[in-house]
Amino acid sequence: MKNSIDRSMIDTRRVDVIDGIRAISVIIVMVFHFWQQTWIFPFVRTPFLGWAGINVIDFSAFARVGYLFVDMMILISGFLLFLPVARNVFLFEPLPKWREYFKRRAVRILPSYLFCIILLFVYELMTGGYGDPINSSAAVRDLVLHLLFLHTWTVPTYLSTRLNVVLWTLAVEVWFYILFPLFASFIKRRKNERGLFGPIFRAAVTAIVMFGIAAVYIYAYVLRSGSVFSNGVDGIFAAVGSGIRSSYLAMVINQLPAFFGSYAIGLIGAFIYVAASKNTRRKWWTGAIGTVLSIVFIYVIVRMVKGCASLTLENAQNWQITNRFTLAFAFMGFILSASFASSWFRFLFSNPLMRFLSTRSYNLYIWHQWLCVKIKYDWRIPFWEGDIPPNQWGTSVGKTWSNKYALIITIAAFAAAILVTFLIERPAADLLNGRPSIYNGKLRKKQ
């Protein structure tokens, strides 16, 4: 039939496995933050694999260095941002208008973000988070730099913020969103440009420049503290009021320039995906190859995670920054191979549960860490007395408390994610996009 759908074609607009990969990445980061507070290492008992000598699958390495999967989240962002550019190059599709692009990014990011920082700002003012009497200069600085997405530039508004430390990733993302149209406009097809050489060459130049920025920042600045160049850059930062270079390695390795290489790998991945999708159909053998490669990349990633987890905290952070490119290539290899894998393997990452988790993963990421700290230290749930949290007692009572606490913070994190998604994110998106919604009355009028 003329209108029948060719199921062998590969969709370049929606990469189905991204749902699960994004959700799992956020959950791994959550497990890391929860482990910091509970000291409970996650594992799964597998008596059904006893015949193979595997009675337990231990995920402790992912708990120790789960923060590595923030890199996966940023890589996914870069991959999805550059997909329309790749479709423009290979499939002649027009790029979206930049006004529409910024509107979509704002609708996606801002409602939940602004709700979080305003709610927490009011909460901290009311509960003495900014001192008693209130240190107004610290409070205003914290709020204003978060509103401008510049909070990663100073220790008080990043590592010591009262407004949720995990929001540093939003600063990285938003500033790349602002820069992205420059890259996309440079790469895109020109009028009457029919061949592939021009846009692919410009894409390659863009990737090289982005790699160059990251390499200079990492290898000439981050890892060369005290050098003439590094001191000069520190002087520039200090002149504009920033304290990026501090005693905390996390401050310097989590700035936007350090992630330009990850975004470049996202660009490369998007071009490979669209080019391969254009010239490939889903066959049993392409699925088999994709599945085998996916398993290989999972093995590589697990080995890298375990290697990093075996190091001390400072050495692990040094490993992260020196291996950021390598890890991003492994992540990208997994995303691409999984995208072409067999249907049963893709279903592991694109089933209804994964889609449910993915649509709530943004708010799960925003709220999980703040809640687990407040529940433990400020609200003391489950209740405990004294100066030392029960998980540090080293007793059976402390272990029982930790198990209850782990259950409570897990429920709280998912509950917050679901509530904010349905009560803040989606209504705001409906209102800003003019869509029919029970929140703006248009749905009732339509009915």
Kindly tell me if the per-residue pLDDT of 67 is higher than 90.
yes
The larger pLDDT score, comparing residue 447 to residue 325, is at 325
pLDDT range class, residue 441, cuts 50, 70, 90:
low
Give the other-Cβ count within 10 Å of 356's Cβ: 13
For range 164-177, the mean pLDDT: 97
The larger pLDDT score, comparing residue 396 to residue 294, is at 294
Q: In the chain, what are the helix, strand and coil shares in percent, each to the nearest 5? A: 75, 0, 25
The larger pLDDT score, comparing residue 64 to residue 1, is at 64
- The residues spanned by each domain of the chain are 18-282+352-446
- Kind plus residue range of the DSSP H or E element containing 321: helix 313-322
For range 134-145, the mean pLDDT: 96
353: nearest Cα among 343, 363, 342, 361 = 361
The string of DSSP codes covering 28-59 is HHHHHHHHHHH-PPPEEE-GGGGGGT--EEE-
* Residue 41, pLDDT score: 82
Kindly tell me if the per-residue pLDDT of 130 is higher than 70.
yes
pLDDT range class, residue 381, cuts 50, 70, 90:
very high
* Residue 440, pLDDT score: 58
Give 44's strand partners: 57
The tens digit of pLDDT for each residue in 315-367 reads: 999 999 999 999 999 999 999 999 999 999 999 999 999 999 999 999 999 99
Give the whole-angstrom CA distance, residue 253 versus residue 137: 27
* Residue 447, pLDDT score: 44
- Kind plus residue range of the DSSP H or E element containing 274: helix 260-278
Helices (H), 323-433: 324-339, 343-350, 352-373, 396-420, 426-433
pLDDT range class, residue 1, cuts 50, 70, 90:
very low
Contacts 24+ apart (CB under 8 A), 146-149: 146/117, 147/117, 149/174, 149/175
For range 202-218, the mean pLDDT: 97
The tens digit of pLDDT for each residue in 178-191 reads: 999 999 999 999 98
pLDDT range class, residue 21, cuts 50, 70, 90:
very high
The string of DSSP codes covering 63-94 is HHTGGGHHHHHHHHHHHHHHHHHHHHHHH-PP
Kindly tell me if the per-residue pLDDT of 390 is higher than 50.
yes
Query: What pTM was estimated for this model as a whole?
Result: 0.93
Kindly tell me if the per-residue pLDDT of 442 is higher than 70.
no
Give the whole-angstrom CA distance, residue 124 versus residue 132: 11
pLDDT range class, residue 25, cuts 50, 70, 90:
very high
pLDDT range class, residue 34, cuts 50, 70, 90:
very high
Q: Are 112 and 420 in contact (CB under 8 A)?
A: yes
Q: Are 371 and 413 in contact (CB under 8 A)?
A: yes
pLDDT range class, residue 250, cuts 50, 70, 90:
confident
Give the whole-angstrom CA distance, residue 296 versus residue 344: 17
pLDDT range class, residue 45, cuts 50, 70, 90:
confident
